[in-house]
Amino acid sequence: LGFEQILKNSLTTLPMGGGKGGSDFNPKGRSDDEVMRFCQSFMTELARHIGKNVDVPAGDIGVGGREIGYLFGQYRRIRNEFTGTLTGKGRSFGGSLIRPEATGYGSVYFAREMLTKAGKDIEGMDCLVSGSGNVAQYTTEKLIELGANVLSMSDSAGSVHIPGGMKREHLDYVMELKNERRGRISEFADEFGLEYLEGKRPWAIPCQIAFPSAPQNELDKNDARTLLENGCIAVCEGAHMPTTLDAVHLLEEAKILFGPAKAANAGGVAISGLEMTQNSMRLSWTREEVDNKLKNIMESIHDKCVQYGENGEWIDYLKGANTAGFVKVADAMMAYGVV
């Protein structure tokens, strides 16, 4: 994941390196006080290793706005200064508009660019979204806004099939369920009388586009084969490397549109970079300004993937993303000289 992050950050066109870190603390079933105490203890040890010009942590699996607030509060107590050392902060203390939505929105923007390049429109497409956390929620929100039909959401216990497509009231319920009550997705199925697939992932539901937006390696070779048999034309990774390597090979052999994680979900880290910029400039851009910058960044990432991945009539987005990300990093390393 750390290596992937280097290439992803390179693709954003912003001047950022990349890395990964975390802990083995599981916040599920913990009280707010327990989560707060852990975050404060974690930051007490981490603070000496990070800084706005050193390393800038951001949220990920298990780390949302609540945890970033606790971490940043402790950092300020220890360092006695206000800097953009963490991103994903709340709006009242230096956060950026669109930051919570950025990864999900960005993956949809990238998928739209792939479809447009292929002469297709995302409006009216049947889409599967896995997960029900931050990325899945805002992927779903943007898909609804663009007129696509979202047929699923899931969590680690099972999946929900929404035959008529997600409506705004459905999404509002899921957001309240997951962000406030920390409940299970089965409650969503019960509330609206929807089909609940216990212990199953959503990939057996026929669709045209799949957005894997849950943890790593959730879409395996059998799932990929099922998607292809059901007529899927595109897979766009909203999560970090959610597709297993053999599944990626199968999708690539079928020559469908495949948006790899390092390109498709780079929206989150791109807006993290823009949050750092706003903190440094001591200003706050409007929602429209940030969203337009996000669209432009995702379009630029797509164009770079096409530049390095075009192969006759087919575009190998995985090769394009890997090559484009690597070339920028390699150029910088060569310019620094041998160390």
> What CATH number corresponds to the domain at position 188?
3.40.50.720
Residues 128 and 53 in one domain: no
Give mean pLDDT, residues 288-298.
96
91, 269 contact by CB (below 8 A): no
pLDDT recorded at residue 172: 98
Residues 6+ apart with CB under 8 A from 163: 151, 195
Residue 1 has pLDDT above 90, yes or no: no
How many Cα neighbours within 13 Å face the side chain of 221? 5
Q: What is the pLDDT of residue 59?
A: 85
Enumerate the active-site residues.
Answer: 20
Provide the pairing of β-strand 314-315 with 310-311: antiparallel
Least-confidence region, from 38-42, 92-96, 192-196, 302-306: 92-96
Clarify whether residues 3 and 145 are in a common domain: no
User: End of a domain among 208, 236, 263?
Assistant: 263
Tell me, what's the pLDDT at 339? 63
User: CATH code at 63?
Assistant: 3.40.50.10860
Residues 141 and 24 both lie in one domain: no
Domain tally, the chain = 2
Tell me, yes or no, whether 303 lies in a domain: no
Whole-number pLDDT of residue 128: 98
- State whether 23 and 168 are in the same domain: no
The rounded mean pLDDT for the chain is 94
Q: Quick check: is 66 in a domain?
A: yes
Q: Percent of the chain at pLDDT above 90?
A: 84
Average pLDDT of the residues in 161-171 = 97
Give the structural domain span for 1.
Answer: 1-7+17-79
- Report pLDDT for 13: 84
Tell whether 222 and 136 lie within a shared domain: yes
Q: How confident is the model at residue 2 (pLDDT cuts 50, 70, 90)?
A: confident
What pLDDT, in 10s, does the model give residues 9-26?
Answer: 999 988 888 888 889 999
Mean pLDDT of 49-69: 90
Looking at 207, 228, 263, the residue that finishes a domain is 263
Could you tell me the pTM of the whole model?
0.90
pLDDT tens profile 173-196: 999 999 888 899 999 999 999 999
The position carrying tokens 């974690």 is 42
Burial class (CB in 10 A: 0-12, 13-18, 19+), 203: buried
Q: Give residue 171's pLDDT.
A: 98
Q: Are residues 29 and 131 in the same domain?
A: no
Percentage of residues of the chain with pLDDT beyond 70: 99
Last residue of a domain, one of 263, 283, 302: 263
Same domain, 111 and 213: yes
Q: Render pLDDT for 217-270 as a digit per residue (tens, 0 to 9).
A: 899 999 999 999 999 999 999 998 899 999 999 999 999 999 999 999 999 999
In angstroms, the Cα distances linking 293 to 12, 86, 105, 280 are 11, 20, 12, 17
**Domain check: are 112 and 66 in the same one?**
no
323 within some domain: no
Let me know whether 236 and 105 are in one domain: yes
Nearest-10 Cα torsion for 104, 108, 114, 118: 160
Distance CA 139, CA 130 (A): 10
* Residue 93 falls inside a structural domain: no
The answer, yes or no, to whether residue 61 has pLDDT greater than 90, is no
pLDDT of residue 279: 93
By the 8 A CB rule, do 21 and 61 touch?
Answer: no
Give the burial class of 184: count Cβ atoms within 10 A of its Cβ; 0-12 exposed, 13-18 middle, 19 or more buried.
middle
Between the alpha carbon of residue 308 and those of residues 313, 322, 326, the distances in Å are 14, 9, 11
| Interstrand relation of 126-129 and 149-150 (parallel, antiparallel or unpaired) | parallel
- Give which of 111, 135, 132 is closest to 123, Cα–Cα: 111
Mean pLDDT, residues 90-114 = 94
pLDDT tens-digit map of 126-154:
999 999 998 999 999 999 999 999 999 99
Classify residue 148: in a domain, yes or no.
Answer: yes
In a shared domain, residues 141 and 239: yes
Question: Residue 285 domain-assigned?
Answer: no
Q: 325 lies in a domain?
A: no
Are both 127 and 205 inside the same structural domain? yes
One domain for residues 253 and 106: yes
Eight-class DSSP state of 147: T
Question: Is 186 within a domain?
Answer: yes
The confidence score (pLDDT) of residue 241 equals 87
Q: Are 185 and 158 in contact (CB under 8 A)?
A: yes
